[in-house]
């Protein structure tokens, strides 16, 4: 009788379990979408978070360019890196020499990734969009492409700083061309000063990736919605040499899995 009661209890417990309780959700690649929930990475220059600490978010990622070489992506993923933004192009003629390596190795490691374009103010937006399309494969399993908009006063070749109306018009051109090609609404990356200087709150319906390393985005950008938040440029990520940018997805693990399903097909 006692054995029979134990069997009944085990059966009931099994009936109460869900697939999410038993195993992580899997994307098309077969890799877990979240390697470590709510990781807390070290930081070489940490910020004292009064509220909205980044480690309260379930899903973290990084972004890379040619300055991050020989990344051990399996190690980064095992530490809690669940997505990567990879620099592909800049302006109308610059291609990041490590893009292909990062692009292929993140996929092989089962890490969702997106390509980004760094905007150059001395080249027409249409030219830049065509350059991005020329260099970034149309990969349906990738996350949406990213337009990186920020002032670059250290540029040795372009000191142009267009007015806000021109910036928004050129952005619209780039975004429309890229969306038509890849079939996905691009993500807009920006910083606090660029957002304010150019009235980017006017761009509605786009996923935003906001840089805010000295306060939560709600403190710096008000109520503007965001999908990703870059919270440090001095993070320490296993498998990556030197300082690393670290980002979070603005939502739960379940929301992340849903967002991935909607944007990687």
Active-site residues: which are they? 150
Rounded Cα distance between 50 and 168, Å, is 34
Separation between Cα atoms, residue 125 and residue 123, nearest integer Å: 6
Read off φ and ψ for residue 64, nearest 5 degrees. -140, 160
- Measured N-to-C along each axis, helices 164-182 and 125-135 cross at an angle, to the nearest 10 degrees, of 30
Cross-strand bridge partners of residue 230: 211, 247
H or E, element range at 257: helix 253-263
- Closest by CA to 75, choosing from 118, 111, 29, is 111
């Amino acid at each position: 009788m006692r054995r029979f009661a134990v069997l009944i209890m085990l059966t009931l417990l099994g009936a109460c379990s869900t697939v999410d309780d038993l195993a992580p959700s899997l994307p098309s690649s077969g890799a877990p979408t979240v390697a470590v929930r709510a990781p807390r990475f070290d930081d070489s220059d940490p910020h004292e978070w009064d509220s909205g600490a980044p480690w309260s978010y379930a899903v973290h990622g990084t972004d890379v360019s040619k300055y991050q070489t020989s990344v051990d992506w399996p190690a980064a993923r095992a530490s809690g890196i669940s997505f990567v933004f990879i620099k592909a192009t800049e302006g109308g003629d610059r291609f990041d020499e490590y893009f292909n390596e990062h692009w292929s190795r993140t996929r092989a490691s089962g890490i969702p990734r997106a390509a980004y374009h760094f905007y150059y103010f001395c080249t027409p937006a249409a030219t830049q969009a065509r350059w991005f399309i020329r260099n970034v494969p149309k990969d349906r399993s990738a996350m949406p492409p990213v337009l990186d908009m920020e002032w670059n006063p250290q540029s040795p070749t372009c000191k142009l700083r267009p007015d806000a109306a021109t910036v928004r018009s050129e952005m619209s051109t780039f975004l429309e061309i890229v969306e038509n090609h890849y079939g996905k609404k691009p993500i807009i990356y920006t910083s606090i000063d660029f957002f304010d200087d150019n009235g980017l709150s006017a761009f509605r319906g786009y996923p935003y990736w906001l840089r805010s390393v000295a306060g939560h985005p709600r403190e710096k950008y008000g109520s503007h919605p965001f999908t990703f938040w870059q919270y440090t440029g001095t993070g320490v990520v296993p498998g990556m040499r030197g300082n690393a940018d670290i980002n979070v997805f603005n939502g739960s693990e379940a929301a992340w899995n849903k967002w991935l399903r909607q944007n990687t097909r």
